[in-house]
Amino acid sequence: MRITAIREIAVPINSTIRNAVFDFSEMTTSVVAVITDVMRDGKPVAGFSFNSTGRYACGAQMRDRFIPRIMKAQPESLLNDTGDNLDPEKILACMMQREKPGGHTERSVAIGTIEVAVWDAVAKIADKPLHVVLAEKYNRGKLLTKVQCYVGGGWYAPGKGIKELQDEIRARLDEGYTTMKIKVGGATVPEDVKRVEAGLKVVGSSDRLAVDANAGFNRARALQYAQALKQFKLRWFEEPTDPLDYALLADVASIYDSPIGTGENLFSTQDIENLVRFGGLREDRDIIQIDVPQSYGIVQFARTLAMLKRHKWERRSIFPHGGNQMTLAIVGGFGLGGCEAYPDVFGVFAGFADDAKVENGWLKLSDRPGIGFEAQNALYAVMRGLVSRK
């Protein structure tokens, strides 16, 4: 058993939506295929992944360092102890050879994207859904059939006012979601307060509406929003500051009693540990939103969870960033707090299986082997193209 090829391609997101900080008109993502010599139905088993939206394609690091290291390794050195499957932990260690500690953002997305594709291959070789493989390894075999799922939206767009925002929220509720997250920070504080009030009128309860500032606030604006929003007692206030500005985040937490969500723009276990030690976060209410494929992948995520447990954070407080099949499998496998969704937002990279249906805020886990990309026809066409490419 061996990896025969690892291929990647950069694909444009093709989205013109805007948050408080930037638009997505130039955004790209890396799609990866890890191809093995294991044959099923006359075809080689291949694992797939992509670096979830919000980070640009990172193929240069993959091509220059990480893919060559894997392909130069002795094939048996990348297998598990029984020799019947790949070992993601050994493959992660292989990619990290000759890498200096620190400097995570330069490499963590590229490594994590490859690593998650390896897990897809591992699960397919085992002929099990990825969430089952992860539950057996990391969650004492506790198997879930569905996970809680909230929907993100409320983007700023030309001609989009209060009525259009409310119409969007109603449409998402009609699709089966019960909790909505909308953007703040792309307008004035009074305008955003009106948007929040309008959203609450539709969802009906403060614990069913969250807001997201995309880490775009300076000190004055972050504190101003904390004061203005605390009256609403929202589900959470996401990314009110740069997550590395621990002092400012702690000051926001001292004003804002309701939950804060942050962490999707951090890339390592040490980053997250610093966040919970120095950022003023409260383990009884706040939300950690690390993005797994962007932070070295699943093996390292398990280490991050172990660290958070030492700091008395429970898995129900972890809501990984990324509304996609990868995150859905990870949430289900580790038994985390919930998953987000971004339907119809990021082209072929948005959402879940084509036939996925949210019911009363819950989403059923895939029963397909691996991550289940095969149930997303448009995205899977891109992925299969990597396997057939010479």
Strand boundaries in 232-368, DSSP class E: 237-238, 260-262, 287-288, 339-341, 358-359, 362-364
Check whether 21 has a pLDDT greater than 90.
no
Domain hosting residue 8, numbered range: 3-127+378-388
Tell me, yes or no, whether 238 lies in a domain: yes
Inter-residue contact 68 to 98 (CB < 8 Å): no
Question: In angstroms, rounded to a whole number, what is the distance separating the alpha carbons of residues 317 and 243?
Answer: 17
pLDDT bracket for residue 284 (50, 70, 90): very high
Percent of the chain with pLDDT over 70: 96
- Tell me the CATH number at 153: 3.20.20.120
Assess whether 105 and 253 both reside in one domain. no
What are the residue numbers of the active site? Answer: 183, 321
Helix (H, G, I), strand (E, B), or coil: what is residue 255? helix
* Sole residue written with tokens 């540990």: 273
Check whether 19 has a pLDDT greater than 80.
no
Assess whether 245 and 367 both reside in one domain. yes
Q: What is the pLDDT of residues 32-60, one digit of tens each?
A: 999 999 999 999 999 999 987 767 778 89
- Tell me the CATH number at 84: 3.30.390.10
Output the pLDDT for position 16: 58
Tell me, yes or no, whether 146 lies in a domain: yes
Assess whether 115 and 154 both reside in one domain. no
Tell me, yes or no, whether 300 lies in a domain: yes
H helix or E strand, kind and range, residue 186: none
Assess whether 167 and 302 both reside in one domain. yes
Assess whether 29 and 114 both reside in one domain. yes
Q: What is the pLDDT of residues 228-255, one digit of tens each?
A: 999 999 999 999 999 999 999 999 999 9
Tell me, yes or no, whether 27 lies in a domain: yes
Assess whether 340 and 360 both reside in one domain. yes
| Total structural domains within the chain | 2
Assess whether 251 and 110 both reside in one domain. no
Assess whether 365 and 384 both reside in one domain. no
Tell me, yes or no, whether 276 lies in a domain: yes
Q: What is the pLDDT of residues 171-185, one digit of tens each?
A: 999 999 999 999 999
Output the pLDDT for position 130: 98
Output the pLDDT for position 58: 86
Assess whether 143 and 222 both reside in one domain. yes
Q: What is the pLDDT of residues 184-203, one digit of tens each?
A: 999 999 999 999 999 999 99
Q: What is the pLDDT of residues 107-135, one digit of tens each?
A: 999 999 999 999 999 999 999 999 999 99
Whole-number average pLDDT of the chain: 94
